[in-house]
Amino acid sequence: MELIHVDSPASPLYPGNISYEEEIQRLTDRSIARAQHLHYTLASLGNNNVSQTIINPLDIRPRLEFHPYGSYLVQVGIGTFDATFPARSFNTYYLYTDTGSILTWALCEDCLKPGNQCFQTKEPPFPNSKSKSYVALCCNQNPFCKTGQCTGPYCSQHDVYMGGTVVNSILSAENFNFLSISGQPLMLPGVVFGCAYDTRKIGFGRLEEFKIAGILGLGYAPISFPLQQSYQTGKVFSMCLTRQREIQTYLRFGKDVPTPPGGLRVTKLVFFKDIPYYYVNLLDISVHGQKLLIDPNVFAVRNQGTSGGCIMDNGSSFTFLIRPAFNAVVQFLEMYFMRFPRLFKGGRPLGPPFELCYKWMTPLPPLPTLTFHFENADLVINPEDLFIKVNAEQQGNYLLCLAFIADDARTILGSVHQSNYLFIYDLNQKLLKFAPEDCSKNS
């Protein structure tokens, strides 16, 4: 499937010819919304008092414009309808890809019934009653339907998200269509998805132009798209992301996943009961080739995955680094940059919450790399992704800032710091495999 960055010219949400500063602000807003979403859902799973998490959703004023599901979209065809060639026999919708959601779902026409609620969409909700291939799954007659998970005779799903967002859906089977390498649609029959009939406090709103219909769930659970379609996907999928928003890359499955000629680095994926996120064991961090010797307990997962740990997440743009590790990185960089008299620490960025920033006189000094040391594998972040140029609060000035955001709960490795790597999620072997890659070359 073509992965469409939300701000790319190919995206239905393309913001137009925005400035670099506006682009960075949009990425930051999405990242913060995403981090809040992860903190809330994990705290809820752990039965913690949600108000004790890093950000209390009730304190968000005004309500965030960006929905916290992702930074990348796919276009899918759903259903089977009478159509005369060359018209398609399915309806086309945009879905967010989300490695933190297990259920694929789309807004359906039953949300128009009295007592139910729809979120606003540019296209009408999916007309499931008119599709020849739509089947609502009967209660307790499908392995994805848990006991007591019923609305009338049908299997239902009730999902609660940050800030009281609720999505109620009927678990259903339907034909999904995707573009294939031939350029023609490939139809997958009987994809189990949630046909959303009642949605509360949700909207892919003004900045998203009401063009999003739902979610493609890529998280770890039997019902998620890569696992339920294992006969097609082989329980393996890959992503290769790029910072260049005008370049499209691909979400690949099964035999279509490429094997880099230079080999792969491999680390374990770590899973916890009822938690869909992809954890990896982060052991330490190096800057400029020097290990910071951070206590491994700083990165440890606690409370069965509901706090701590390191999550690989394509929904966040920037990386959130747990506070003790963030402080260690900042302390090293402050010492590193002291040798360059043309760099001056200080100044606050206009908008993004980056804490370590410098003013500079040209030319810029050599900037260091940073390495995440996972169990048995190293991920190197190049200087052009580690640092970012932003506007200062003082008009007309620019700052060079460390492109990490400090976090008190966990580490979240965002898409900016996954760029130009091929990442392969092998759910059979529970391994994350990766290698440097020029993702602009059809990876």
Q: Find the radius of gyration of the CA atoms of the chain.
A: 22
Tell me the pairing of strands 307-308 and 301-302.
antiparallel
In terms of Cβ atoms closer than 10 Å to its own Cβ (0-12, 13-18, 19+), residue 141 is exposed
Residue 187 located in a structural domain: yes
196 to 76, 100, 110, 172: CA distances (angstroms): 16, 18, 8, 10
CA distance 30 to 37: 11
Instruction: Tell me how crowded residue 120 is: count the other CB atoms within 10 A of its CB.
Output: 11
Do 91 and 189 have their domain in common?
A: yes
pLDDT (0 to 100) of residue 203: 61
pLDDT (0 to 100) of residue 137: 92
**Which residue do the tokens 């360059």 mark?**
340
pLDDT (0 to 100) of residue 47: 56
pLDDT (0 to 100) of residue 327: 97
pLDDT (0 to 100) of residue 93: 92
Q: How far apart are the first and last CA of the chain?
A: 12
Question: Whole domain around residue 388: which residue ranges?
Answer: 265-436
Which of 204, 264, 185 lies closest to 431 in space, CA to CA?
264
Residue 108 located in a structural domain: yes
pLDDT (0 to 100) of residue 341: 86
Intervals of the chain under pLDDT 70: 20, 46-70, 147-148, 160-165, 181, 203-210, 245, 350-351, 393-396, 442-443
pLDDT (0 to 100) of residue 43: 75
pLDDT (0 to 100) of residue 163: 54
Do 222 and 277 have their domain in common?
A: no
pLDDT (0 to 100) of residue 49: 43
Do 110 and 220 have their domain in common?
A: yes
pLDDT (0 to 100) of residue 210: 64
Element (H, E) at 386: helix 383-386
Do 323 and 279 have their domain in common?
A: yes
> Mind giving me the DSSP string for 207-274?
GGTT-EEEEEE-SSSTTSHHHHTHHHHTTEEEEE--S-TT--EE-EEGGGS---TT--EEEEEEEETT
Do 122 and 74 have their domain in common?
A: yes
Residue 53 located in a structural domain: no
Encoded amino acid at 432, one letter: L
* Cα 147 → chain centroid: 30
Residue 163 located in a structural domain: yes
Number of domains in the chain: 2
pLDDT (0 to 100) of residue 1: 85
Do 294 and 385 have their domain in common?
A: yes
* Cα 362 → chain centroid: 36
Token readout for 402 is 């460390």
Residue 356 located in a structural domain: yes
pLDDT (0 to 100) of residue 7: 77
Do 168 and 301 have their domain in common?
A: no
pLDDT (0 to 100) of residue 274: 85
Do 211 and 348 have their domain in common?
A: no
Last residue of a domain, one of 229, 245, 280: 229
Mean pLDDT of the chain: 84
**Contact predicate 216/127, CB 8 Å:** no
Do 301 and 370 have their domain in common?
A: yes
Encoded amino acid at 356, one letter: L
What's the pTM value of the predicted model, to 2 decimals?
A: 0.88
The domain that holds 365 is classified in CATH as 2.40.70.10
Residue 4 located in a structural domain: no
pLDDT (0 to 100) of residue 394: 62
Do 225 and 288 have their domain in common?
A: no
